Amino acid sequence: MNDKFPYTSLHEYLEAVLSIMDNPSHQQIKEAKRAYWKNYYKVYRRNQRLVRKEYTLGFGTDALKRIQQKKGKLSVSKFLYLIIDRELQSNEVVCNNREVLSSLHQHLMELITLVEELLDSDGSKAIDGILERLDVLEEQVEQFINQ
């Protein structure tokens, strides 16, 4: 439900407000202009809040130092917008939940154990290749957990 500002220009507002006065002073004109812009921005900000959600972010000193190092010639706001936009455009799933990663690591270890048992009973080269790939994956998951 957007509020519509009733005037299309400053001049229209001044004509409506100052027409009731016979000979407005310079001070009255300044106050009328100030009142116009105050009301205009009040309606504008209200409409913007309905359309765009704003968030306030707080960063610690370490994070601020990293932002300053990586932003280059961009402003901090532009840099953060670009990072967020890039993240939203990517199809990667970021998983920082240590419990989920630990559970994944546990299942991976169980799978490696099952493949080792299969390798002992069968001795196939294909199974040996799968085991090597699983070992590499397990090391990567472990490194990710320990970061």
Q: What is the pLDDT of residues 19-43, one digit of tens each?
A: 888 889 999 999 999 999 999 999 9
In a domain, 1, yes or no: no
pLDDT greater than 70 at residue 95? no
Question: How many domains does the structure of the chain reveal?
Answer: 3
In a domain, 88, yes or no: yes
Domain of residue 68: give its range. Answer: 59-94
What does the pLDDT read at residue 1?
45
Question: Cβ(54)–Cβ(77) under 8 Å?
Answer: no
In this structure, of 50-59, 93-102, 113-122, the range with the lowest mean pLDDT score is 93-102
In a domain, 120, yes or no: yes
Instruction: Choose between 134 and 78: higher pLDDT.
Output: 78
Please tell me the pTM assigned to this model.
0.45
pLDDT greater than 80 at residue 80? yes
Question: Residue 65 CA to chain centroid, in angstroms?
Answer: 19
